[in-house]
Amino acid sequence: MTAARTPLIAGNWKMYKTEREAEDYIQALLPRVSSIDGADVAVCVPFTDLRAMVDSARGSRVEVYAQNMHHEPEGAFTGEVSPLMLSDVGAQGVVLGHSERREQFGETDRALALKVPAALAAGLTPILCVGETESERENEDTDRKLRQQIKDDLVNVPSERLTDVVIAYEPIWAIGTGKVATPEQAQEAIAFIRALVGDRDAQAAQGVRILYGGSVKADNAAELLALPDVDGALVGGASLQADSFAQIVGAAAAR
Ligand code: 13P
């Protein structure tokens, strides 16, 4: 890793935590991470927790991200939330293309091709999630899948903005399964993604942050975060407890 890439540890809460629970969590997290240097920290929270988390995290090192958005600034899209609404509430970023949204809610690469630049235009940091299924890995189809997702989802992002996108490599078979990718698998896939960005722009490849996600825990984080191309982690289950999440932040800062 080059000195220019500050690791990012992002906690994806998914559909967990009422506002009260979120408040208790952030009050526990802030003192645990306040003195840890050398890593950026974000919590990616349900829409209903955004306002409270932005207020509580203000002035701290913890950034607050959403987990999805529509690409249009406004319109007749019942049930959707716009990039403008997220930046207006004070969110600093947004998770896009999580495999749960792709698999269970029909999120397409076509939609992501619109969402990623829309997030950037609204001043939000997009965390674009990519990754292969178990059968794609078994069929040695991982590279093709990653190539297709990176190409299609970033097609409308100009080269000079590529480094403002965070990419999360999340092998679907490792999400919520306790089956973490081996360091070799994580490094190989993430180096491959970096090379794909390099096909677009060599300089962007050096600057873009690429995270690993999938069963990251306090006890395996250090090994994954030490890998040369891994610039942080997108953490699901282990981000729900302030203690374990803070330990992962500590592992990123200590590497
Ligand atoms: P787990 O860390 O629970 O495996 O979830 C990973 C994930 O989906 C983060 O976005």
Ligand 1 centroid to residue 144 C-alpha, Å:
22
**CATH code for the domain of 103:** 3.20.20.70
**pLDDT value at position 4?**
76
Q: Is 193 inside any structural domain?
A: yes
**Full domain range(s) for residue 224:** 8-254
Question: In the numeric block, which tokens belong to residue 137?
Answer: 């890995």
The answer to whether the CB of 242 falls within 8 A of the CB of 197 is no
Which of 8, 14, 65, 220 to probe ligand 1 with, by most ligand atoms within 8 A of CB?
14
* Residue 230 confidence (pLDDT): 98
In a domain, 1, yes or no: no
Q: What is the pLDDT of residues 167-196, one digit of tens each?
A: 999 999 999 999 999 999 999 999 999 999
pLDDT tens-digit series, residues 34-53: 999 999 999 999 999 999 99
Residue nearest to ligand 1 atom 9, measured at CA: 236
Q: What's the 45 CA to ligand 1 centre distance in angstroms? A: 13
Closest ligand 1 atom to Cα of 175 = 4
Closest residue CA from atom 5 of ligand 1: 236
Burial 76-107 (b: 16+ CB within 10 A, else e): eeeeebbbbbbbebebbbbbbbbbbbbeeeeb
Within a domain: 15: yes
Indicate the pLDDT class of residue 73, thresholds 50, 70 and 90.
very high
How many distinct structural domains can be found in the chain? 1
Q: Is 2's pLDDT higher than 90?
A: no
Q: Which amino acids are annotated catalytic?
A: 98, 170
Q: What is the pLDDT of residue 163?
A: 98
pLDDT given at position 254: 84
Q: Residue 100 CA: which ligand 1 atom is closest?
A: 8
Establish if 3 belongs to a structural domain.
no
Give the Å distance between the CA of 48 and the centre of ligand 1: 20
Q: Could you tell me if residue 2 is inside a domain? A: no
Q: What digits encode the pLDDT tens for the residues 121-163?
A: 999 999 999 999 999 999 999 999 999 999 999 999 999 999 9
- CA of 76 from ligand 1 middle (Å) equals 32
- Inside any domain, residue 100: yes
pLDDT of residue 255: 80
